[in-house]
Structure 1
């Protein structure tokens, strides 16, 4: 009986360690600490987090199942890098989903509690400071889009949108981020938000579509080596 108790406790400890590693490595990827295409060295991570290789490998395989990592034979875990086709397809899906979110979110802003939460969530977009290409801007960008999804009240939409890994996509595009196109993006955020607050769902949807289509067009200007090669048929 004592052995079973010990094994159960060891299982809980291991599970907590795996969950901790999942959170830390996922945040590292989504915050840009680990870049698309970067190999994650197990020895470095075990030393950094003070853990053994077993829980780390389990966490890395679970992140691979979430499409944040790729497990490559003889190379180990590599932060997933999108191909040009994958990136364009993700943008097409995002456009459809976020236009829906804008429509539903705008309708829901007639509820004062939802409106107050939305205004609080998007408050950073009104700050006048100039943004520069950085992880901070990518986090601000994600927070704005998340605020619209939250205002929609559509929980399934939130789950599906989260699976698209917006920050991962944005970090791969980060080589094309400039102060000028960040400023343009911020102005578009403000325009979308104002249309929603004004109750104009048609204008908000049009502006969201234009915003994401402009972001998608940036991919066409990027050098091919930024993208993962398409598998040969």
Structure 2
């Protein structure tokens, strides 16, 4: 691949941050794995300067840790840290669900109903990869509907840090059958424009995640 020109470093590093983040969250790099600038430059077709900036951005997000005189490596999030992250998410996601229920419009409701049907179908077929993808779509859509920019920014960073544990949870035996009704309850509350129910359903779902996470410790 051809490296991007040096004068495009700002735009390149922003795009590269997203691409490396996606690779990290997709499990393409293992916890504690060294992230070599030269290797990343070749893999992603970017300049070393863009790679360096992207790694600094990801370090600020808590996904990468910088090692003195040794470059960078993938930061491993412990189960205890993952639990703390979910506990913080609980307040933010409950707020977003409440706001989404208050803001939802007719066209949004139609989209949420399609999403709801997709979740039920994926679980019924045992397609856990599709179910996981749809859950991410649901979370993203509720954040968007909330219109709460600050909560959304904070959640995107927190979710990125705990994504690896979330991925593990999604494939725990029986987990989908338990979590699907929780997700559907959140969607139904938002569709009904019931802010209290949306907030309560979101909190109950995340409390369940904390309980399951503790079993992984």
* TM-score class, shorter: 0.7 to 0.9
1:40 aligns with 2:35: yes
Check the 8 A contact 2:82/2:165 in 1, yes or no.
Answer: no
* Superposition map of 1:52-71 within 5 A: 52-71=47-66
Partner of 1:99: 94
Distance 1:211 1:151 in 2: 19
Aligned pair in 2 of structure 1 residues 123, 149: CA closer, same or farther (>3 Å)?
A: farther
Partner of 1:202: 196
Alpha-carbon shift at residue 67 of structure 1 (Å):
2.1
Distance 2:197 2:155 in 1: 22
Distance 2:93 2:185 in 1: 15
Paired positions, count: 211
* Superposition map of 1:121-136 within 5 A: 124-127=118-121, 128-132=124-128, 134=129
Distance 2:15 2:88 in 1: 31
Distance 1:75 1:184 in 2: 43
* Superposition map of 1:13-52 within 5 A: 13-52=8-47
Distance 2:168 2:114 in 1: 30
Check the 8 A contact 1:102/1:205 in 2, yes or no.
Answer: yes
Distance 1:24 1:212 in 2: 28
Alpha-carbon shift at residue 171 of structure 1 (Å):
1.2
RMSD: 2.7
TM-score, reference length from structure 2: 0.81
Check the 8 A contact 1:138/1:167 in 2, yes or no.
Answer: no
Aligned pair in 2 of structure 1 residues 51, 114: CA closer, same or farther (>3 Å)?
A: closer
Check the 8 A contact 1:131/1:183 in 2, yes or no.
Answer: no
1:151 aligns with 2:137: no
- Give the gaps of 5 or more residues in structure 1: 1-9, 224-233
Distance 2:103 2:11 in 1: 38
Alpha-carbon shift at residue 120 of structure 1 (Å):
5.1
Alpha-carbon shift at residue 74 of structure 1 (Å):
4.5
Partner of 1:77: 72
Distance 2:35 2:22 in 1: 14
Check the 8 A contact 1:142/1:167 in 2, yes or no.
Answer: no
Aligned pair in 2 of structure 1 residues 99, 54: CA closer, same or farther (>3 Å)?
A: closer
Aligned pair in 2 of structure 1 residues 172, 78: CA closer, same or farther (>3 Å)?
A: farther
Larger Rg: 1
